[in-house]
Chains A and B, each alone.
Chain A
Amino acid sequence: MDNNVKMQAKNVDFFYGKNQALNNVSLDIYANKVTAMIGPSGCGKSTFIRLFNRMNELVPHTILHGKIFLDDLEINSPLVDAVDIRRRVGMVFQKPNPFPKSIFENISYGLKVNGIKDKAFIEQKVEDSLKKAVIWDEVKCRLNDSALKLSGGQQQRLCIARCLAVETEVILFDEPCASLDPISTAKIEELILELKKDYSIVIVTHNMQQAARVSDYTGFFLLGELVEFGKTQDIFTSPKEKRTEDYITGRYG
Chain B
Amino acid sequence: MKKLHFKEKLYKGIFTILAFASLFFLVGIVLVLIKEGLPIFKEVSFLKFIFGRYWYPTYNPAEFGILPLILASVWVTLGAMIICVPLGVGSALYLNELAGPAQKAILKPVIELLASIPSVVFGFFGMVILTPFLQKVFHLPTGLTALNASIILGVMAIPTVCSIAEDALNYVPNAFREASFAVGATRWQTLTRVVIPAAGSGISTAIILGMSRAVGETMTVLMVAGGAAVIPHTFLEPVRPMTAAIAAEMGEAPMGGNHYHALFAIALILFVITFLFNVIAEIISRRFRIKLGLSG
Q: Give bound CA distance, A173 to B194, whole Å.
A: 22
Instruction: Find out whether the CB atom of A93 lies under 8 angstroms from the CB atom of B180.
Output: no
Which chain A residue shows the least CB distance to B194?
Answer: A99
How close is B180's CB to chain A, nearest CB, in angstroms? 7
A60-B100, A60-B101, A109-B193 known; A166+B292 contact, CB < 8 A: no
Stretch at the interface among A65-73, A84-92, A130-138: A84-92
How many Cβ-Cβ contacts under 8 Å join chain A to chain B?
A: 75
Which chain B residue shows the least CB distance to A82?
Answer: B181
Q: Give bound CA distance, A166 to B197, whole Å.
A: 22
Instruction: Find out whether the CB atom of A84 lies under 8 angstroms from the CB atom of B194.
Output: no
Name A153-172 residues within 8 Å CB distance of B. 159, 162-163, 165-166
Q: A97 touches which one: B100, B173, B185 (CB < 8 A)? A: B173
Instruction: Find out whether the CB atom of A97 lies under 8 angstroms from the CB atom of B178.
Output: yes
Q: Give bound CA distance, A53 to B178, whole Å.
A: 11
Write out the residue numbers on chain A whose beta carbons fall within 8 Å of the beta carbon of B173: 97
A83 contacts B by Cβ under 8 Å:
yes
Q: B183 touches which one: A82, A86, A100 (CB < 8 A)? A: A86
A97-B173, A100-B292, A109-B193 known; A58+B178 contact, CB < 8 A: yes
Instruction: Find out whether the CB atom of A97 lies under 8 angstroms from the CB atom of B179.
Output: yes
Chain B 183-220 near chain A by CB (<8 Å), digits 1 or 0:
11110010001100110000000000000000000000
A110 contacts B by Cβ under 8 Å:
yes
Q: Give bound CA distance, A109 to B176, whole Å.
A: 12
A83-B185, A100-B198, A100-B291 known; A109+B178 contact, CB < 8 A: no
Q: Give bound CA distance, A162 to B197, whole Å.
A: 19
A60-B100, A99-B194, A113-B189 known; A55+B178 contact, CB < 8 A: yes
Q: Give bound CA distance, A188 to B71, whole Å.
A: 61
Instruction: Find out whether the CB atom of A90 lies under 8 angstroms from the CB atom of B292.
Output: no
Chain A 89-116 near chain B by CB (<8 Å), digits 1 or 0:
0110101011111000000011011100
Q: Give bound CA distance, A109 to B100, whole Å.
A: 28
A109-B193, A148-B293 known; A97+B175 contact, CB < 8 A: yes
Chain A 20-64 near chain B by CB (<8 Å), digits 1 or 0:
000000000000000000000000000000000101001010000
Instruction: Find out whether the CB atom of B193 lies under 8 angstroms from the CB atom of A113.
Output: yes
Total A residues in contact with B, Cβ cutoff 8 Å: 29
Write out the residue numbers on chain A whose beta carbons fall within 8 Å of the beta carbon of B186: 83, 113
How close is A179's CB to chain B, nearest CB, in angstroms? 12
Write out the residue numbers on chain B whose beta carbons fall within 8 Å of the beta carbon of A109: 180, 183, 185, 193-194
Q: Give bound CA distance, A109 to B184, whole Å.
A: 10
Instruction: Find out whether the CB atom of A86 lies under 8 angstroms from the CB atom of B184.
Output: yes
Instruction: Find out whether the CB atom of B175 lies under 8 angstroms from the CB atom of A113.
Output: no
Write out the residue numbers on chain B whose beta carbons fall within 8 Å of the beta carbon of A100: 176, 197-198, 291-293
A60-B101, A99-B194, A100-B291 known; A113+B185 contact, CB < 8 A: yes
Which chain A residue shows the least CB distance to B173?
Answer: A97
Which chain B residue shows the least CB distance to A112?
Answer: B193
B182 contacts A by Cβ under 8 Å:
yes
How close is B77's CB to chain A, nearest CB, in angstroms? 31
Write out the residue numbers on chain A whose beta carbons fall within 8 Å of the beta carbon of B185: 83, 109-110, 113
Write out the residue numbers on chain A whose beta carbons fall within 8 Å of the beta carbon of B108: none
Q: Give bound CA distance, A109 to B78, whole Å.
A: 35
Name B124-175 residues within 8 Å CB distance of A. 173, 175
Instruction: Find out whether the CB atom of B176 lies under 8 angstroms from the CB atom of A83.
Output: no
Q: Give bound CA distance, A113 to B187, whole Å.
A: 11
Chain A 195-226 near chain B by CB (<8 Å), digits 1 or 0:
00000000000000000000000000000000
Q: Give bound CA distance, A110 to B183, whole Å.
A: 5
Q: Give bound CA distance, A112 to B177, whole Å.
A: 16
Which chain A residue shows the least CB distance to B172?
Answer: A100
A60-B101, A113-B189 known; A99+B179 contact, CB < 8 A: yes
Write out the residue numbers on chain A whose beta carbons fall within 8 Å of the beta carbon of B181: 55, 58, 82, 86
Write out the residue numbers on chain B whose beta carbons fall within 8 Å of the beta carbon of A101: 197
Give the residue among B175, B181, B182, B186 with the most A Cβ atoms within 10 A. B182
How close is B184's CB to chain A, nearest CB, in angstroms? 4
How close is A189's CB to chain B, nearest CB, in angstroms? 21
Instruction: Find out whether the CB atom of B180 lies under 8 angstroms from the CB atom of A99.
Output: yes
Instruction: Find out whether the CB atom of A95 lies under 8 angstroms from the CB atom of B175.
Output: yes
Give the residue among B173, B177, B180, B181 with the most A Cβ atoms within 10 A. B181
How close is A139's CB to chain B, nearest CB, in angstroms? 18
Instruction: Find out whether the CB atom of B178 lies under 8 angstroms from the CB atom of A113.
Output: no
Write out the residue numbers on chain A whose beta carbons fall within 8 Å of the beta carbon of B175: 93, 95, 97
Write out the residue numbers on chain B whose beta carbons fall within 8 Å of the beta carbon of A87: 183-184
**9 pairs across A/B with beta carbons < 8 Å?**
A84-B184, A99-B198, A100-B176, A100-B197, A113-B185, A113-B189, A162-B183, A163-B183, A166-B184
State the 6 A-B residue pairs at the shortest beta-carbon distance, nearest first: A110-B183, A87-B184, A97-B175, A113-B185, A91-B182, A86-B184
